Amino acid sequence: MTGYQESITDQSYNGQILTFTYPLVGNYGVNRDDYESILPTCKGVVVYEYARRASNWRQQLSLDEFLKIKKIPGISGIDTRALTKIIRQHGTMRATIANANGSIERLQDQLQSIVLPTDNIKQVSTKQSYPAPGTGRNVILVDFGLKHSILRELAKRNCSVTVVPYNTSAEEILQLNPDGVMLSNGPGNPEDVPEALDMIRGVQGKIPIFGICMGHQLFSMANGAKTHKMKFGHRGFNHAVREIVTGRVDFTSQNHGYAVSRDGLPECLIVTHEEINDKSVEGVRHRDYPAFSVQFHPDAAPGPNDADYLFDEFMEMMDAHQAY
C-alpha cells in the first residue's frame, strides 16, 4: 500500500477521519520527502492492520510514531471494507474514534451536537506570504490548503513562486507583477470564501489562471457557475477522466466532496473534462480569457501522473500571454 503519507498530510482532509481499504498500511513508514504539508490536519486514521515494522531505505518514522508525534488518533483492527460499504450506501457521515468503555448513546449525542466548521480554508491557509524562489516565470500561488506537490511541479519548471493567503486581494496580487496565478486545492465548501471570488474576477483577463480542485470550484463560481455537495465525493487515485475534445482518458487522483454543477453553467465557461462514471464536470476553460481549471490533481501525490502535462499547458499559456 502506497500513498498513505501523502493522503494523511493533505490539508484537503482538514477535520476528516480517513479510512484506508487496503488491508495493510504503514509498510514503508514515513519520510520527510513525501509530506504534502508539514502540519497535517485530518482528525483520525482507520486501518484494518498497520505494519509494526516498516521496511524502506527512505523511512524515518513508523506510521505509529508519526501519528503520535502529530497527535492524530489512529485505530486498527477495523473491517475497513465493510465500513466502506456503509459509507458507499449512506454517503459521508459524522464519526468519532472512542475507547471501548464509552457509552454508544452518549457518543451519538455528542456527534449530533457537533457544529461543523465553515472556516476550513482559513484554518489551513498560510497566514503570510512566502517565496519559493526560481529563475523562470513568476507565479503567484493562492493557498487554499495547498499540497506541496504543486510547488514541486512548479519547481521542476523553474518557476519563481510566491505563496499568498487565501484572502489576498486582486490588487495585492497584481502589484507582484505575476506571469500567472494558480488557485490551489483546499478543504470544505467553496461558498465559505466569497472574498476569493472577487479576487479571481479582478485578476482574470489580466493574468493567466490555472485552478486545481478547490481552485477549480472557485474559478467556476467566480464566472457564474454553481456548486453542489456530492453524496459520496471522489476520493482516491483511480478516477478515469475524459478530455472531451480529444477523447483522451487519464487516470487521476481526486479528493473533493463538492463539484461544479453542469446545469446552468454560464456560456463563458466551456467544459473540457468529465468523469467517465458519473459524468460530473472535471475541467473548464474560459471562452475569452487565458484561464482554465480542473477538479482532479494533475500533481497526483499520491496517484498517477497522467495529467501533469496540464502544468506545461499553463507554462505555454503564460508565455503566449507575455508575447501578446
Known binding residues for L-glutamine: 12, 186, 188, 214, 217, 255, 257-258
Give the HSE-up count for residue 78: Cα atoms under 13 Å, Cβ half-sphere: 20
* Distance of alpha carbon 147 from alpha carbon 10, whole angstroms: 6
At 19, is the secondary structure helix, strand, or coil?
A: strand
The C-alpha cell 488491508 sits at 23
* Distance of alpha carbon 62 from alpha carbon 308, whole angstroms: 30
* Distance of alpha carbon 101 from alpha carbon 181, whole angstroms: 51
Strands (E), the chain: 17-19, 24-25, 44-46, 49-50, 74-75, 130-132, 138-142, 160-164, 180-183, 209-212, 227-243, 249-260, 269-275, 281-286, 291-294
- Which residues carry a binding-site annotation? 12, 186, 188, 214, 217, 255, 257-258
Please name the residues in contact with 124: beta carbons below 8 A apart, sequence gap of 6 or more. 11, 14, 37, 41, 144, 145, 186, 187
State the catalytic residues: 213, 297, 299
Residue 311 · residue 157 · CB < 8 Å: yes
* Distance of alpha carbon 297 from alpha carbon 305, whole angstroms: 9
Q: Amino acid letter at 246?
A: T
Length of the chain: 324
Give the HSE-up count for residue 306: Cα atoms under 13 Å, Cβ half-sphere: 17
Please name the residues in contact with 180: beta carbons below 8 A apart, sequence gap of 6 or more. 137, 138, 139, 140, 207, 208, 209, 210, 314, 317, 318, 321
Q: Locate 222 and state its grid cell.
A: 467566480
